[in-house]
Every structure is written in C-alpha cells, then in structure tokens.
Amino acid sequence: MNVLALKAEYDWRVQVPGRKFDYRMPPLLHDALVVSKHRTSSPEEADLFYVPTWDFHGSWGNPEVYYRAHRYISSAFPFWNASGGADHVWALARDAAACATPWGSMLEELKSSILLSNWGGVTGLSGRVEERCFRPGWDLVLPGALTQRVVAKSPHWGTDSQIADGHARRTTRLFFSGALCWKISTIARDMRALAAKCERSFSEPGFLSRYSFGLRYRIFEKFRTAPGFRFYASDFSPSMPAGGFRLDDEILRSQFCLCPSGTGWGMRVFHVLVLGCVPVITQHDGENPPVAQAFDPEVLHWDEFSVIVRREQIDTLPALLASVNLTAKQAALRQVWTQLIWRGSLEEPLRSRLPGPDAFEVTMAALRARLGLKAW
C-alpha cells in the first residue's frame, strides 16, 4: 500500500493562520500522555483508564464518536464494567462539553466517568441545567490550545525589568473584543437595532438562547463610554475602529481584559492571561455556581491572578476594578502562565524554554489531587 504524501498543513499539529487551533486539547493531552511517565502498559497497575477520542465539532455535530467508543470499551475490555466507568477519563473540547445538544445526549455513556473539558458550567448553551454537564468535585476543566504565535509574544518571557516596563505602558483600563449577542453574524448599526437583536436572542427558544448569560450586552450597554474602557463589539459596527485593529497589541496595552463566556467556553481568558492582561471573568448566570476555570481549585486559585465578577456585581464594575491590587495580580500571572499552555503545541526552542510545569503536567497533578492518589 502506498501512503500518499500530503501537504504539512493537513496535519492537525500544523498551525495554519485562520485555522481554529482552540479545540486541540484532546490530541495534545493524548500525545503527551503516551510518552509520559504516567502511562502504564499494565491495566492491573492503572488507577485510571483514558479513552482517546478526538472530536473537533465545537458546539455542533453528532456525538456518535462517543457512542461508538463507549460500546467498544464496554464490550472489548473488562475494566469499564468492573467500575461502571468511574475510573475512565474522557476529554471533550466541545463548547459545552458533555451537555446535551439537539444532536443527542451523552448521559448514559459518560454519567459515571471523569470528564476533562474546557467548559466548567453546570448549564448547557440554553442556560438550563443539563443532564450531564460539568460536575464540580469530579470533572476537571482544562485550558484550550494557544498557538505558538500568541505564546511567543508573551511578556512573561522577559526579565523582571522588561515586564515592569511593559506593564507601565498599559493605558487601557478594560478591553474587550467580540460579539455581544447571538447570532454573532447579525450586525447591528445602532443601539436600537442592537437591543432588539439581543432581546430576540434571549426570547426565542433554542439551545443557544443564553449566549454569554446576557452579560456581554449588559456590560457593553452600561459601560461602553466609561473612562479607559475600550470595547470592540464585532456585531455592532459603530464600535469598531475604522482602520481595523491588532488584537494582540490591544491586549498588550490593556491592564484588565473582559472574559465572558459565549457559546460555552472560549480561548479569550488564556489568550489575555498569557499576554499579561489580568482576566476579568464574568461567567455567572445568577442562579447556578459561576463557571469553573481551568484547574480550579485542585491546583490553581483563579482569584489570585484574575478578577472574578458575580452577576450581582456587574453594575459596580468600575469601582470593583479600582479596588483591585493590579500589581499583585500581574505578579501572580507570571507565577502561573505556563500551567495554562500545552508544551506540545510549541515548536523548539520555545518548547524547551517554557519554564515550570505545563498544562499536561498540571492535569496529572489535578487528577492525582482529585482522586487522593499516591504520587505518581
């Protein structure tokens, strides 16, 4: 059999501009695991069993890959039936993880297992508590996959004085770029049209009826003209700069960066953190626990290096930011940033230069802490 030579761009590991790399957490985890000291070839020695499924659907598409994997491992191996799947680990990069969608439920397949996902919300994209969403105290939230291009720009690579100089040049108080309401492709050209769009988004039925829990629009409406706040709403054309803008440059000149949810999880919080901007996390529907962040609380404590804003605090956002010790938050960012980067997504020399543990190593530590296991 002849193996055809395809262009390198067809390899999922190649980071082509314009191609979504965000959802590559499962294969990055898989690649790191198979060559790590944590892997054992002896099932009798295993504390956990990893199910290597790769799914790049985002929010959309049939979860058939999980159905098939479940049928196979529950019939081909004795380990699933011995524990009911409780010692099996699945990685999902879907926007709302295992929460049910119109394409199907994964309750039966994943109800007992540990889920590693990018979404730490107990509700699905409808804003309703779903049958198999994130379970605090059992599942783990993992970071998405940043590209080499973004990581290479991180000020954290620099010396203490270089980092301090960079922070001194941050003149934007709070920055945000993104859509405000679903559908993100529908562009409003005045505030009346924007309000109608967002009201329609929240009043019509559908599994995407609670985009960002409504907080993107609420914050924009209330604070778009606040001193030092710079909001670029991609679905509200009057807010967009006429000459365009460079996203990374805007982040690098900002002290705080707004990080709401969207259609589930997003890369914004990891992107801004790596570029030295303190995340302001507004991911709370007011009824359920705020959306859990990566490795919190097993390894990381996000309140140390970000600003977590509950729904009832939104109206006091400027005063809340004024009360924050910005210097302390920035210093804390430098202590944790590598733990939210997948070393396997980097090329040399950055791969070897990345100091401290990366996202894979922290995943293993978080699983160990979660299960109370002995050191591996």
- Say if residue 132 is in the same domain as residue 162: no
Segment among 42-46, 101-105, 187-191 with least mean pLDDT: 101-105
Q: What is the domain count for the chain? A: 2
Question: pLDDT by residue (tens digit) across 165-199?
Answer: 999 999 999 999 999 999 999 999 999 999 999 99
- Say if residue 286 is in the same domain as residue 361: no
The per-residue pLDDT for 115 is 95
Instruction: Return the SS3 of 367.
Output: helix
- Say if residue 191 is in the same domain as residue 323: yes
- Asked whether residue 351 is assigned to any structural domain, the reply reads no
> How far lies 95's CA from each of 150, 332, 369, in Å?
21, 28, 26
Q: How many whole angstroms separate alpha carbon 146 and alpha carbon 161?
A: 26
- Asked whether residue 107 is assigned to any structural domain, the reply reads yes
- Kindly provide the residue ranges of all beta strands, DSSP E only, lying in the chain, ordered along the sequence: 49-51, 88-92, 114-117, 140-141, 172-178, 229-233, 254-260, 278-282, 307-308
- Asked whether residue 234 is assigned to any structural domain, the reply reads yes
Angle at 178 between CA 174 and CA 182, to 5 degrees: 130
The per-residue pLDDT for 310 is 98
In this prediction, residue 263 has a pLDDT band, given cuts at 50, 70 and 90, of confident
User: What mean pLDDT is predicted for residues 75-92?
Assistant: 94
- Asked whether residue 8 is assigned to any structural domain, the reply reads no
- Asked whether residue 3 is assigned to any structural domain, the reply reads no
From the DSSP assignment, how many helices (H) and strands (E) are in the chain?
A: 14, 9
- Say if residue 266 is in the same domain as residue 199: yes
Q: Do 305 and 278 form a contact (C-beta atoms < 8 A)?
A: yes
The per-residue pLDDT for 18 is 63
Q: How many whole angstroms separate alpha carbon 339 and alpha carbon 354?
A: 10
The per-residue pLDDT for 20 is 72
Question: pLDDT by residue (tens digit) across 128-160?
Answer: 887 789 999 899 999 999 999 999 999 999 999
On the 0-12 / 13-18 / 19+ scale of CB atoms within 10 A, 355 is exposed
Question: pLDDT by residue (tens digit) across 313-337?
Answer: 999 999 999 999 999 999 999 999 9
- Say if residue 210 is in the same domain as residue 186: yes
Which of 175, 201, 142, 154 minimizes the C-alpha distance to 366? Answer: 142
Domain containing 207 — which CATH number?
Answer: 3.40.50
The per-residue pLDDT for 376 is 40
- Say if residue 85 is in the same domain as residue 205: no
- Say if residue 129 is in the same domain as residue 172: no
Enclosing domain of residue 45: 22-146+357-371
Token pair listed for 241: 């700069």
Q: How many whole angstroms separate alpha carbon 354 and alpha carbon 157?
A: 9
Query: What is the DSSP secondary structure assignment for residue 183, as one 8-state letter?
Result: S
Q: In this structure, what is the dihedral angle of CA atoms 282, 287, 288, 293, given to the nearest 10 degrees?
A: 0
Token pair listed for 40: 């054992």
Instruction: Return the SS3 of 260.
Output: strand
Q: 11 pLDDT exceeds 80?
A: no
- Say if residue 281 is in the same domain as residue 217: yes
- Say if residue 168 is in the same domain as residue 74: no
Q: Is 181 left (phi over 0), alpha (psi -120 to 50) or beta?
A: beta
Peptide bond into 241 cis (omega under 30): no
Q: How distant is the alpha carbon of residue 49 from its chain centre?
A: 24
- Say if residue 169 is in the same domain as residue 284: yes
The per-residue pLDDT for 56 is 65
Question: pLDDT by residue (tens digit) across 226-257?
Answer: 999 999 999 999 999 999 999 999 999 999 99
Q: Between helices 25-34 and 359-371, what is the axis angle to 10°? A: 80
Q: Which residue(s) pair with 104 in the sheet? A: 101
Q: How many whole angstroms separate alpha carbon 175 and alpha carbon 20?
A: 23
The per-residue pLDDT for 101 is 77
Amino acid symbol at 8: A
- Asked whether residue 5 is assigned to any structural domain, the reply reads no
Residues 6 or more apart whose CB falls under 8 angstroms from that of 340 comprise 143, 270, 273, 274, 294, 359
Token pair listed for 99: 């929460």
